[in-house]
Amino acid sequence: MKLYLTPGSCSTGIHILMEELELVFEAHLVNLLTGDQNTPEYLAMNPKATIPTLVRNDGTALTEFQAIAYWLARSYPKAKLLPGDPDGDARVIELMDYVVGTIHGQGFARIFTTNRFALNEADFEAVKAQGMDIVKRGFAVVNDGLSPQGYVMDTFTIADAALFYVEFWADKIGISLPENCLKHYRLMLERPVVRRVLMEEGYRLN
């Protein structure tokens, strides 16, 4: 398989899941700043021009964080990346979708790609402030429903990989995480695979 990723992005969550599963794959770096996602070769695989993209063994490409994470969990059920019961699976997907769709897609997107939300540069700061508010309110919602003991569920799931990458972003730009989210973030940083993936993507760890 081939995973098309950008270091330190949402694709880091998928990178973590694939390493947790001990899958053999090729990692292909996509430089968003130089426009790698808009090349004809990349658009032929993923016309959305987004990351991550997972090209599977049969040559078909799968896009969108939630879809790739779900496919990995269902394809390798022994790893128990989903709880396995309808209510547990739904809870995992519920949190993952909120993290990706709201905290990332509505909040951090306004902070990192402000020009997509405002045509007038004079409005940029207001858009960033709105994004910051969405992120903080989003973490507060997650925090209130998160177990103080650690993971989203009793054990590590695909939702933890999603929550980790936005917690990582918050840490990098100085957004304080609420108590339970901070405990989750620190617990994730203790996982050997997470530490290895971050180092592979070029981050130094204390």
> Hey, which residues are catalytic here?
9
3-state secondary structure of 101: helix
Contact 74, 82 (CB under 8 A): yes
Query: Which tokens is 106 given?
Result: 């509505």
Type of residue found at 84 = G
Q: Measuring CA to CA, how many Å separate 94 from each of 4, 26, 124, 140? A: 25, 30, 31, 16
Q: Measuring CA to CA, how many Å separate 60 from each of 63, 72, 85, 121, 158? A: 10, 14, 28, 40, 22
Backbone angles phi, psi at 55, to 5 degrees: -95, 115
Span between the terminal Cα atoms of the chain, in Å: 32
CA nearest neighbour of 193 among 164, 152, 153: 164
d(CA 201, CA 179): 27
Type of residue found at 31 = N
d(CA 111, CA 125): 9
